[in-house]
Structure formats: structure tokens, C-alpha cells
Structure 1
Amino acid sequence: MTVKASSRREGNVFPRRLNPPLPVAVKSDGVWIEDQEGKRYLDASGGAIVVNAGHGRVEIAQAVYDQILAYDYIHPTMFTTPAAESLGSALAAHAPEGIGRFYFLSGGGEAVEAAIKLARQIHLANRRPEKFRLISRWKSYHGLSLGALSAMGRTTFRTPFAPMLADAVHIPPPYCLRCSYGLTFPDCRLRCALALEETILNMGPETVSAFLAETVSGGTLAAYPPPPGYLQAIRDICDAYDVILILDEVLCGMGRTGHWFACQHDGVVPDLVTLGKGLAGGTVPLSAVGVNNAHFEAICSHGGGFVHGGTFSHHPVAAAAGLALVRILERERLVERVAEWGPALGETLSNHLSDLPWVGDVRGRGFLWGVELVNDRASNTPFPRDQQVTEKVWQALFDRGIITYKSTGLAGVDGDAIIVAPPFVMDSADFEYVARNIRTAIEQVLADQNRER
């Protein structure tokens, strides 16, 4: 059956992207997606940094099929299921020490909101009802529902809904390329981490419930890892003031950085950690909140349980998909593969791109890399947002059959980058192919733009 390309003028779908009409995907396998016209696309970003084990995994399809035939919808207040129990145990086996319980939901934003609520309830269980306020960071991405959006620090997404957002306090991110304090690492003595302590003291430590941060900055700061010592400093500050540390690993978790959990690079254990995206390899919606055992026991002792829920939480079919994904990562040692090949991916991108006058930085970890584009490299001056540089480079790549991920708003509302975050099965020949084409697309777009001035 032939389907018309989705656009705002045809069909009955309200599309995510209104213009231009989108091609119709019909098949995917490994690192490739094919559209209705037979054109093939190399998926160098795993969609929205979701596909980790590769497209078209028969094992996951079989697990979902078997689960639906055994039993499909089971409400989690009435039954538990082997699928959910087994997935929880499988994740706990790879989690930082002490993270032993997992609450399953559908999307990353859901998991973030659940974590924010859970932090509050942990304080209630421990008889600290005065602790309710949330601190997060500018240039963060935590989801688009109102609770997650309140915590998020991406300006353009927040502004239309500002009157509707809850009160969350934001501090600068660990973004050394554009340090909010005009300092240089390591002479800065981690001023961006010390901002957390300063903010807690200004707010009143007795009122602060939690600090929420991406372990590795994702879609808004284009795969920017924190400098050495940052996460440990954050952990120490949270401990000093009895603040729950929530690490958002919806994007950077599940092996993406070369560890099962990105915080394992720094040896830091959060109180709560959110997972999503790659948790089921993109096959079905699935997310989770990982919870420290001590906090779980506090909730249990409080008597009322966690005052939260969802029709599709702890869904057995989604859990079956997630468990199958974990077993693939284990059996094929794909997380170890990311750790081994990640530096080569970064080196390939740097070798092909770092000499371009518009490339301000190539940074990342594992199979998560960002290429930041600047108008002037000496000063890191960004392109004005109305020039739509990211969108033009992305489209030039897409037209060539290469899928990357867009990142904008790195410097106020300005700032441009693309993200390369392929499935873990991508090989070194594909690294070269992607890097060469990114270079060609950047040269094409920005040379044309310079000629138009």
C-alpha cells in the first residue's frame, strides 16, 4: 500500500514537523532506514538518540509477541509480572551500587516527573515536610510535560508556557566552552558546581528537596560531558544539605557512553536516576526511575506507598521488550563495544571536522558526540538563531541519506550543533562515511550562506 507523505495539508495526522512533507518510512534494519521510494538512510543518531542495539531486532519482536499471547495488559496495583520483575533485576545487576529498585513508566518526561515527586515524598517519609523546592540547570532537557518543562532549562521551549510553569530554580551548567563565569577549567575550581551550594544556601537548605541534572548534557548542549570532579562535587554538596540528587540519564544511559549508567564514569551514585529512550531500544515506549534502596525502604515504612501511578506503568509487554534489549546488550557485549569504539568515533569526527572555521568544538563520550557550529571560532560567537544553521546542515545531511540529531539554543536562544549518536552496531567504515558527509554538508551550507551575505 502506498501512503502519501505526511504534511499539514494532507491526511489526518497532526505531524510533529509541519513542513515540508515527510518521507514515509517502510523498513529498517541494523543502522539503516528505508523509505517508500526505496531511498536508504544511515541512522547516525538512532532517531532521537534512542536506537542502541540496532533496528529490526528479531529477539525483541519475539519477546513482545510471546508476552502479548501470554497476557497483555495487567494492572500493576493488581498483579506483578515476571517481565517487570526480571527487568528490574536485570537493571539492578548493572546499576551503581545501592540502586536496587526500578519504577517503570512510558516516557522520559514521565520518569523525570515521577522522580521529582518521589524526592518530595522521600522527605515527607523522613519527616522533613519543609523540603519541597527543586533546583535544576539552564540548558538542560528533561521533557515537555509541564512538570518536566518547569525543570528544563531550554529557553525556546519554556517561553510559550512560562505562566504555567512551577517554580524551579536554575543554575549554570558545566559548559566550559562558554563558562557562565568567564573562567577556565581547572583554574575555575568548579565554580559551576559551587553555584549549587550557593543557591541552596540562598534558598534556605531546609526548603530544598532535590537537584536534577543530566549526567552528560544531551540535546541542548550537544553531548557536553561534565569536567572531571564536577559530579563528585555535586554529590558532596547534596549530601551536606540533605538534598536528593536526581541524575537524568534518559538520553545518556543504557550504554550510550560506554557504561551501563553514565554516572559510572565518575564513580558517583545518585539517589534517583531516570532512564528511557534506549531502555527498550526504541521498540516500545518504556522509561524507569531507579531508586536507592534506602529511599525505597523509607517510602515503604511511611505506610502509604508512593502516591503516583499511570495506566501503562509497569506494562508487561514493554518490560518484555526492555528485558530482551538488556539481554542483547549483555550477550553481544555492546556496551563494552561502545567503550572500545567510542574514542575512534570521536577521533574520526575531530579529524574530519576540527579544521573547519565554523566548527567550534567536537566533544562527547562513547557513542554520543556533538559538533558545535560557530560564526567565529576565536570568540565562539554563535550564529543568530534566525539563520537556522543547524536545520540547514541537518537537511543537507538528510538529503544525502544520513540522519543526525539537531541541537540548538546553546548560547541563549542562539547556538547550533548536530549530534552523532549511532546504534551500537555501527562500524568504523560508517564512522568515516558519516564524518566525510558532515564536512561536505557544513561546507555546502555555510559557504552558500557566506555568498548570500
Structure 2
Amino acid sequence: MTEAVQQAPGTHPVDMERPWPFVPFGANLTVDRAEGPYLYTPEGQRILDAAGGAVVGNIGYGRADVTEAMAAAVRRFGYVVPPFQTDSRLRLVERLRDRWLPPGLDRVHLNSGGTEAMEVALKLARQVHVARGEPQRRVVIGRDLSYHGASIMTLAVGGHAERRAGFEDWLPDWPKAPPHYCLRCPLGLSRPTCGTACVDAIDRLIGETGPQNVAAVIAEPVVGSSGGSFVPPDDYWPRLREICSRHGVLLIADEVMSGFGRTGAKFAVDHWNVVPDILVGGKGMSGGYAPIAGVYAGEELARPLAETGQQLMYYTYGGHPAACAAADAVLEIMEREDMVARVAALEPRMEAALAPLRQHPNVAEVRGKGLLWSIEMVRDRDTLERFPVEAGLSFKVVSEGLSRGVFFYPGGTKVHRDIVTLGPPFVVTEADIDLIGAVLRESIDAAVAACG
């Protein structure tokens, strides 16, 4: 029997009898199986996964052709070191290059997940500048309210206050630019008269740091759950591309969440016809069937490493044959069933289903693109006053949703809080989307009432 945990003042009760996860939190849900866009409990309750897990699921659960491809790969060999070639690795790389990646991004490095891939992207930026004879370029400029992973380096470039907490003295003190958070503009401006002030702030930070000292700028084209589906103004990414090119700074696009069709384009940068120097994609790459993510760049970044005798470091399970087989099968299904176009076509239905919430007294904003949407909740929509941290509003909404048969994803950074994110599988029906909107409103009403 586990001993009772003594609580510090102001902390939450913790049920340490639960064996998983390491520190128990949130709703205690057991999932027995999944099919299509639905999760099923051992008791037979059906739950519509409006979050796609952690905004991962895309082709729907239970696709036999994916599991069969994985099984075939495992039967042939359980493991092959990452630099060796296998048919599943080669098929996936060729599919990515020929049918998915923006033009010019034809070098592929495979990893086990988003954090790992983002760490590799940062290392790549550093290695390239060293190989080019500019070792002083070591600073990476990120943005506030961003999230790029849970390793020390990815926490350093991110702006997720809760996940950085307690590690600050381990993290490089690199500059952070303001996000394109138009609802609460950190610069005190408003659209459209602000021009490109938030992206011009990046230009200013590069100048203050010294362009010769800056290795890269890293940003999510559509910010994920940490900010709550921030969609940039249309002139943001073209302007950011111009700034980075002018200063010789590498532009890293974090599309771990927004890539592979989630926003209604193959990658979110495609909406603005921008090609970054380094693109990172994960999550939807395998639709949750296997842990895999990729770092994608052009030959102009790979060649300096090759000429100076360097390698881009691999991790043990990078490009695992079964994971590659899963990703190749998932992307083939997306192509065959034209799922990227389906996401774009479903966007108006999602917007319509969420439209009533725009008038809700406790909803400040509904925002998103494709099938990546978020709702920001407040105590007072006129003043934008937030609920107190201890209210835990987002988790209350998630709990209320589960009790009504729909799973929502809690977002925010604790400082920036009371965010619920939606990222359902691409196979949801219009009726499913309508249900998401209706249950979300009921869940918000019940959660707000519970806050008193």
C-alpha cells in the first residue's frame, strides 16, 4: 500500500494509488480499443476523440493495412541501426520527397518523436554554421507561448512557462519574440493597423543580438495547444522568411502538430508559399500508429556537413523499420483517400459548429484552421479576466466532455490558460463535428458552474 502523500498548502490532492502515469493527474480513463474516430472503454462506453489523442490521430483508429505493414516489417527484422538502408525506410523517404515535402527539402532524417526531432533540428542549425566557418552563430530566437519539446534545448527555445518551470537555470537565456496573439497583443496593437509589428520584433531582436551571432529562428506556423491554435496574419510568414534570409539566419518551422494535413494543406507553411530552411514534422506522419518524426532540409545544409566529415547524430530508434512501414502506409492512405482536401472541406463545418461559442459569456475567442481549433475561455469576456489558476478550468471542461462521450485536449501554459484544443481524426463526419460543438458548449457551461 502506498503511503499517503503529505500536501503542501495550496496543492491539489493526489491519488498515488494509481500505478500510471508517474505522477497521476487529470481524468482516470482506461481505453480498451479504438476504431475510426472513437475510443472504447472496457465497459463499452464510446468516446468521440475530438482531440485525436494529442492531436496525433488522422486516418482513424483500427486501420488493418497499417498494422499489417508494421507486422510485415517486424517479421523480417526487429531492428536495424538507423544509417543502414531498409525497404521501408527507402519507401518512406521517397514518398516524403516526391509527394509531401515543400520543394527543395529533399534530405530526410528520421527520429522517434517530436522532441527528438526538434533537438536534431537545433543541432543541425548549429552544425551548419560551424561547418560554414561561422561558429559564433549560436543563439536561437524563439517566441513566447510556443512549445517545441521537453528536452533541455527544446525547452530553452520554447516559451511554455509551466514546462520550463524549475529548469530555468539550466536553460540558455535566449531571446523570445512576442507571438502573433492578436486577442491579447503583447505589443498593445490591433489588426490591421499593426502591420507586421510582431514579426518585425524578430528583426529587431536579430539586430540587437547581432546577426552574426544568430543561428536560427524557430516558430510554429500555426501555434498548437500551448497558445491555442494561433493562426498568423497572411503577411507574417513571408515577412519572416525575408528577415531570416536577409540576415543569413536559418528558419526552422516546427510542424510537429500542424503538419501532414492538419490545417488543410500538406504543411501549414504551404498556406503562405514559404519554404523554411529546416522543417520538422511528426504526429500525423504516422497517425499515432508508431513513434516517428522527421527533420527535413535541403542539400545546401547537408553538403557542408558532408564536406567537413560530420554526421547528423542519430538516436537508437530513429527510423525504426516498423515505424517507417507504419508512416508509409498512413501517408499512402491519406493520398488514396484525399484526406488533406477533406480536412480543408471540413473546416467550414467545424467553424460553423463552434460559431455559437463566439457569443458565449465565458469564451474570449474561437480560432483555428483546418481541423486544428482552440477555444480560449475567460471569467469576463469584456475585460478578458482569466479564471484563477487553481480553478483548473480546462481540465474541468475535459472531464465534463468525457462524461458526455467526447474527449477534448487541455491546452495553455498555466500563465496563458483555460484553453481547450480540438484536433479530431480526419475521418470524422459532419455529424461528429456537430456533436463536438454541442458537447463543448455543455461542458464549458458545467465547468464554469463548478468554478462558482
- Alpha-carbon distance change, 438 to 10 in structure 1, aligned in 2, over 3 angstroms: closer
For 1:436, give the aligned amino acid.
A
State which of 147, 156, 165 in structure 1 corresponds to 2:162.
156
| Secondary structure of residue in 2 paired with 1:141 | coil
In the TM superposition, what is the alpha-carbon distance from 1:291 to its structure 2 partner? 0.9
2:423 alignment partner, one of 407, 421, 424: 421
Aligned match for 1:343, one of 315, 334, 348: 348
* Aligned with residue 59 of structure 1, among 58, 61, 65: 65
TM-score normalised by the chain length of structure 2: 0.94
1:431 maps to 433
Equivalent residues in 2 for 1:272-311, closer than 5 Å: 272-306=278-312, 308-311=313-316
Counterpart check, 1:230 vs 2:230:
no
Q: Measure the CA separation in 2 of the matches of 1:277 and 1:265.
A: 19
Q: Which residue of 1 aligns with 2:362?
A: 358
In structure 2, C-alpha distance between the alignment counterparts of 1:10 and 1:148, rounded to whole Å: 30
SS of the residue corresponding to residue 257 of structure 2 reads coil
* 1:336-388 CA distance string (max 9 Å, x none): 100111121122111x3111111111110000011111122122222222211
| 1:202-245 residue CA offsets vs partner (Å, 9 max, x unmatched) | 11110100001111000111111111100111110000100000
Distance 1:424 1:70 in 2: 31
Structure 1 distance, partners of 2:417, 2:51, is 20
Residue equivalent to 1:389: 393
**Residues 385, 414 of structure 1: 8 Å contact kept:** no
Q: How does 1:23-422 map to 2 (within 5 A)?
A: 23-77=29-83, 79-93=84-98, 94-306=100-312, 308-350=313-355, 352-409=356-413, 413-422=415-424
Matched length: 438
CA shift for structure 1 position 293: 2.5
- Measured after TM superposition, the shift of residue 76 of structure 1 is 2.2
Amino acid in the other structure paired with 2:280: T
Taking only aligned residues, the RMSD between alpha carbons, in angstroms, comes to: 1.5
Q: Contact (CA 8 Å) 2:18, 2:24: kept in 1 or not?
A: no
Amino acid aligned to 1:387 = A
Q: Is the 8 A contact 2:26 2:395 kept in 1?
A: no
Whether the aligned pair in 1 keeps the contact of 2:366 and 2:375 (CA below 8 Å) is yes
* AA in 1 matched with 2:442: T
TM-superposed deviation, 1:296: 1.8
1:8 maps to a residue whose letter is: M
2:47 is paired with a residue of what secondary structure?
strand
Moved over 4 A (4+): none
Output the TM-score relative to the length of structure 1: 0.94
| Higher mean C-alpha deviation, range 241-250 or range 89-98 | 89-98
Please give the secondary structure, in 2, of the residue aligned with 1:212.
strand
Task: Please give the secondary structure, in 2, of the residue aligned with 1:284.
Answer: coil
How far did 1:195 drift?
Answer: 0.6
3-state SS of 2:175 partner: strand
Which moved further from structure 2: 127-136 or 110-119? 127-136
C-alpha distance in structure 1 between counterparts of 2:44 and 2:345, whole Å: 34
Partner-residue secondary structure (3-state), 1:24:
coil
The code of the aligned residue for 1:75 comes to V
Distance 1:35 1:264 in 2: 38
Query: How far apart are the structure 2 equivalents of 1:185 and 1:17?
Result: 42
161-170 vs 140-149, which deviates more?
161-170
Aligned to 2:10: none
Shift of 1:302: 2.4
The separation in 2 between residues aligned to 1:293 and 1:53, in whole angstroms, is 31
Change (3 A) 1:305 1:42: same
In 2, the alpha carbon distance for the partners of 1:285 and 1:16 equals 20
> Aligned with 1:422: secondary structure?
coil
Q: Closer, same or farther in 2 for the Cα pair 1:19/1:247, shift >3 Å?
A: closer
How far has the Cα of 1:20 moved from its partner?
6.0
Query: Are the equivalent residues in 1 in contact too, given 2:78–2:321 (CA < 8 A)?
Result: yes
Unmatched tracts of structure 1, length 5 or more: 1-5
What is the deviation of 1:147? 1.2
Runs of 5+ unmatched residues, structure 2: 1-13
Amino acid at match of 2:256: V
Residue by residue, what CA displacement relative to the aligned partner does 1:127-168 show, whole Å, maximum 9, x if unpaired? 111111111001001111111111110111112111111232
Distance in 2, matches of 1:293 and 1:103, equals 12
- Partner Cα separation in structure 2 for residue 209 and residue 72 of structure 1: 38
Q: Secondary structure at the match of 1:87?
A: helix
For residues 18 and 266 of structure 2, what CA distance do their matches in structure 1 show?
42
| Letter matched to residue 227 of structure 2 | L
